[in-house]
Structure 1
């Protein structure tokens, strides 16, 4: 077991992970806005009082805030959180008003908003593509080569040489697909289609539950059926194919995230698995302690999740803006300002409540509440 990193290393790792991801996200907004001729007044990494910064020749203030938990781009004319036209905006000279976010057509505003999450996905695709070109891709076929005695696979009647065609109605092209499917479904009963020689059989499988511990002593309950591949196949990937591999892996991770979120919402997975900034800081420190490759891998994973979360249709998030733009496109007129204002207030309340909840979850996972209970008792 590896000793957990100290607080200084954890804080450094957190900044190394969150800082670049926030910068890339906001850079997506900034570059899209600049492409369409929107002036940016402020580009901030972090919130709160400015720690350091400078103003470029275009009049944009680039700065760092003391609280490194996010960032923002303030475009010219953004006089309220919902970027709605106001009397102050109407009072601007025509030339200045033309360079504001609100003056742009709906489709341009939508692209500017979507560019942030897209930038996060692009970063992940680049990282995963570089890894694929550098280390190859595991394309082991979904053929059973090893069966653990007494495992879920053994109880279901699987045999060596079987090719798993599908699990739960989902096609299994590679062995890694089996691991991805079963990992988030401990204890679930699924139908399995197996090719055995010239025959195709249907078997019922109850995925086993296994508690795994990482090198820092953290434990996780995962699903496992107890099989290994017949032959390990690692294929080299060319420079031209690498981006396509990065895209496929990013789509797979988004699908994995969507499924696990759905399991939490439906109660099939505990809400205690939701983590916040403190958990990200802990995992960042542990990844840095394991080496730069692990840290970069974590950056790719969090970048995907950051892009995914920001696309959720919650006012305040980018997805909330896009939802309002979609409504505007259908109605062919903007949503009423008072409706937008209340929607953003509600969205902010939801985000703040979620932040408090995940922070309490994080503290619980660190044993804070148990220790307090012990002191009180």
Structure 2
């Protein structure tokens, strides 16, 4: 329940920030063009906050945080006088109307640049993309990739961490192979081909790396307990943080995988655990529970300590202002490119519509990233902001991109698109958008049931 509340809270915060940024872009350029603003709304539906500014504009925060709008004086829907034509949106030159509409998505991209630049200035510690394990008879095993290899490029794009690797690998969905540049443990750099035989991203798979047959390097888990969940079978059985599990029912436990395998096979069964606590050997009788979501598996409710990371596997980055802006711009540009590539693959079928995510997935992403820390939350905001900007530029009449399409036609022909044609376009665009949103919401529900 706490997780749901956290997800909803940070979903509202994230979407509120991004909607405000987007609509502020429209508002700011409209003000520069001397267009009269009647209303600036963050959200839809019943207002929960309302204020009228000195200019007469109504500022509203509404209950449904799934969008927003800037309402400008417009002779097509408002009764205006001859004098008001100078400040009405529809009487502005086509280039000004184009600029006002385009400003929303553009400011989303600018926001992403500054969010990613802020991460660069804050500084972060990340794991180098070093391969830790390779599954037998997998795509990775056929490629010549080896444990200890550092992936320094995927295709034409350099990769500094596993986030970069994940983004770049995803763009090869539906292809026959993935070119990788790797640096081997002995320092030699080489290019290898990861054969994927038309593999496609599947949201039902545990993760992308497992699907391709390799795993990032992670330090081994110890048999000492780093966390004991409150109210868990472990706590009821008397286990404490820092206890080291040495034996279960007389069987020596050499590693954490062995402990997990033993427990998972014994739901609701009791076992004798021999532990080391403060250099003293203690025996405890513990009854395992059932794993949430998988009642056929045993459950203890503990998290082990992890061995420390080797220093050479970790990189520390922190940039100055100008370096961070340059890096944020480069990252945003790449995210824009990846988003367009994935949209193209969605149309060609190389990416399944099952990968579309709706508000539930976004809320989960917001909550999880916020719980990790400010760097993860800023990265999440940047990603969603870029996606919001790109989606709004799609040439669907109900979106900003549709309006820009109409303005472009007007620019070329010298006369506006007729209201009848625009109305038909809005209806078609609305149906397409509704179908996409419905698919995304159904996907969300299926993933969480």
Matches within 5 A, 1:1-377: 5-77=2-74, 79-80=76-77, 92-135=80-123, 148=134, 150=136, 152-157=139-144, 170-176=155-161, 178-185=165-172, 188-190=175-177, 192=179, 204-207=193-196, 219-222=206-209, 224=212, 226=214, 234-367=316-449
Does structure 2 retain, via aligned residues, the 8 Å contact 1:147–1:153?
no
Does structure 2 retain, via aligned residues, the 8 Å contact 1:314–1:347?
yes
Secondary structure of 2:69's aligned partner: strand
Cα distance in 1 for residues equivalent to 2:93 and 2:200: 53
Q: RMSD between aligned alpha carbons?
A: 3.7
Q: Structure 1 residues 234 and 212 mapped into 2: Cα distance closer, same or farther (>3 Å)? A: farther
Cα distance in 1 for residues equivalent to 2:331 and 2:178: 25
How many angstroms does 1:247 deviate by? 0.9
How many angstroms does 1:257 deviate by? 1.8
Does structure 2 retain, via aligned residues, the 8 Å contact 1:45–1:65?
yes
Cα distance in 2 for residues equivalent to 1:121 and 1:130: 14
Given the two structures, how large is their TM-score scaled by the length of structure 2? 0.67
Q: Structure 1 residues 293 and 160 mapped into 2: Cα distance closer, same or farther (>3 Å)? A: closer
Cα distance in 2 for residues equivalent to 1:18 and 1:278: 12
Cα distance in 1 for residues equivalent to 2:205 and 2:192: 34
How many angstroms does 1:117 deviate by? 0.8
Q: Structure 1 residues 183 and 137 mapped into 2: Cα distance closer, same or farther (>3 Å)? A: farther
Cα distance in 1 for residues equivalent to 2:147 and 2:179: 15
**Per-residue displacement from partner, 1:95-121 (whole Å, max 9, x unpaired)?**
211111112111111110011111111
How many angstroms does 1:345 deviate by? 1.5
How many angstroms does 1:355 deviate by? 2.0
Cα distance in 2 for residues equivalent to 1:338 and 1:39: 26
Q: Structure 1 residues 279 and 149 mapped into 2: Cα distance closer, same or farther (>3 Å)? A: closer
Consecutive unaligned residues of structure 2, counting only runs of 5 or more, are 218-311
**Per-residue displacement from partner, 1:203-252 (whole Å, max 9, x unpaired)?**
54314989999xxx994345646487997655542211211111111111
Cα distance in 2 for residues equivalent to 1:162 and 1:67: 48
How many angstroms does 1:352 deviate by? 1.9
Does structure 2 retain, via aligned residues, the 8 Å contact 1:189–1:204?
no
Q: Structure 1 residues 121 and 166 mapped into 2: Cα distance closer, same or farther (>3 Å)? A: closer
Q: Structure 1 residues 157 and 20 mapped into 2: Cα distance closer, same or farther (>3 Å)? A: closer
Map of 1:370 onto structure 2: none
Cα distance in 1 for residues equivalent to 2:361 and 2:147: 40
**Per-residue displacement from partner, 1:127-179 (whole Å, max 9, x unpaired)?**
10011122169897x9x887847464553235799998976xx4244455655
How many matched pairs?
347
Consecutive unaligned residues of structure 1, counting only runs of 5 or more, are 81-87, 368-377
Does structure 1 retain, via aligned residues, the 8 Å contact 2:10–2:363?
yes
Q: Return the structure number with greater helix share.
A: 1
Cα distance in 1 for residues equivalent to 2:119 and 2:195: 34
Secondary structure of 2:207's aligned partner: strand
Secondary structure of 1:312's aligned partner: coil
Does structure 1 retain, via aligned residues, the 8 Å contact 2:22–2:108?
yes
Q: Structure 1 residues 343 and 234 mapped into 2: Cα distance closer, same or farther (>3 Å)? A: same
Q: Return the structure number with greater strand share.
A: 2
